[in-house]
Amino acid sequence: MNGNGLKRNILPSTHPNFCVWCLEGEETVNHLLIHCKWAFKVWSDLCKWWNIVWVIPGSIEAFSFDWYYGMGIKASKFWKLIGPATIWAIWLARNDFVFNGKFMCRSVLIQINP
């Protein structure tokens, strides 16, 4: 890949496809955003912070459905934004690590004490 691809933060097809957080699984959308040990801990901490018991779903589609409909709780507009905002924050943290070498501690991501 020429330098233009790297300038635009596009990884070459020869780049290893392992999860940047755990290095154990393939970096799929489901793994990276909800199933990776690092992401799972983010979700666990977030749910603990909000005093919610929740089973992580099998896919990002199921996650979106569960989160939007409140996971059995009365979901406010604010609550409905927390899930997508956390996904976006995980994605930005991943890109900052991959492209800039900056690792973000999960507790900083959701700004709570570990």
User: Residue 102 burial (CB < 10 Å; 0-12/13-18/19+)?
Assistant: exposed
Mean pLDDT, all residues of the chain:
78
Give the span between the Cα atoms of 55 and 104, in whole angstroms.
Answer: 25
> Does 65 have pLDDT greater than 70?
yes
Confidence at residue 8, expressed as pLDDT on a 0 to 100 scale: 47
Q: What tens digit of pLDDT does each residue of 22-62 get?
A: 888 788 899 999 999 999 999 988 888 888 887 888 999 99
> Does 112 have pLDDT greater than 80?
no
The more confident residue out of 74 and 57 is 57
- Report domain extents, the chain: 3-110
The radius of gyration of the chain's CA atoms, rounded to the nearest angstrom, is 15
SS3 state of residue 18? strand
